[in-house]
């Protein structure tokens, strides 16, 4: 019997002082590693890029076990106002059943950009979904000063 597990949403925005196309160029495997907090330790296994069809694979050391996470880029576009790409989980850690992350790099004037992380996720079980919220929120909140430093 399949049980519907509703998705929760997290949105975190960070303003940086750099043109949005310059910020786009900075989204790389190196940046991805910088954006991860010290715990749990994350190792980048594969980074194809942020174009449709690209894969990104991570190994997360949870102390008691190492778990793998692979996402596929399912959508991406650049306009005069925004660059975005979407990664969706294809192989997720045991505690997640769904993952969709829209990375938005939004032009805000000539030398300002808003980086917006829009995450939709569901835990493996319905009760787990709200429990994961503060953990995931803090993981993405951790990115704000790094974005500001990297894209100063």
| DSSP classification of residue 110 | S
Q: How far apart are CA 123 and CA 90, in angstroms?
A: 14
Q: Are 146 and 36 in contact (CB under 8 A)?
A: no
Gap between the Cα atoms of 66 and 92, Å rounded: 12
pLDDT digits (tens, 9 = 90+) for 26-50: 999 999 999 999 889 999 999 999 9
Asked if residue 89 belongs to a domain, the reply is yes
In a domain, 1, yes or no: no
Q: H helices within the chain, ranges in order?
A: 20-26, 29-34, 128-141, 143-150
Indicate which CATH number applies to the domain containing 82.
3.30.530.20
**How many independent structural domains does the chain possess?**
1
Give the structural domain span for 86.
8-150
Q: Is the pLDDT of residue 2 over 70?
A: no
Instruction: Let me know if residue 2 belongs to a domain.
Output: no
Query: Which one is predicted more confidently, 114 or 127?
Result: 114
Q: Which residues pair with 66 in a beta bridge?
A: 61
Residue 145 lies in a domain: yes
Q: What is the mean pLDDT of residues 88-100?
A: 96
Res 6: pLDDT: 81
Instruction: Give, as one character, the DSSP assignment of residue 144.
Output: H
Average pLDDT over residues 124-145: 95
- The answer to whether residue 125 is domain-embedded is yes
**pTM (2 d.p.):** 0.93
Q: How confident is the model over 4-14, as pLDDT tens digits? A: 668 999 999 99
Q: Is 136 helix (H, G, I), strand (E, B) or coil?
A: helix
- Taking only the tens place, the pLDDT of each residue in 42-88 is 999 999 999 999 999 999 998 889 999 999 999 999 999 999 999 99
142 class by beta-carbon count within 10 Å (0-12 exposed, 13-18 middle, 19+ buried)? middle
| pLDDT for the residue 1 | 54
């Amino acid at each position: 019997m399949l049980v519907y597990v509703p998705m929760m949403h997290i949105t975190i925005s960070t303003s940086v002082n750099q043109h949005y196309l310059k910020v786009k160029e900075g989204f790389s495997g190196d940046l991805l590693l910088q954006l991860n907090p010290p715990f749990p330790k994350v190792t980048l296994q594969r980074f194809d890029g942020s174009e449709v069809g690209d894969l990104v694979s991570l190994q997360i050391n949870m102390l008691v076990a190492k778990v793998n996470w692979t996402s596929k880029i399912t959508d991406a576009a650049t306009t005069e106002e925004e660059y975005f790409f979407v990664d969706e989980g294809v192989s997720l850690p045991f505690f997640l059943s769904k993952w969709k992350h829209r990375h938005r790099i939004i032009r805000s004037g000539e030398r300002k950009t808003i980086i917006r992380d829009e995450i939709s996720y569901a835990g493996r079980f319905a009760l787990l979904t709200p429990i994961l919220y503060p953990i995931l929120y803090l993981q993405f909140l951790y990115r704000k000063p790094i974005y500001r430093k990297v894209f100063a």
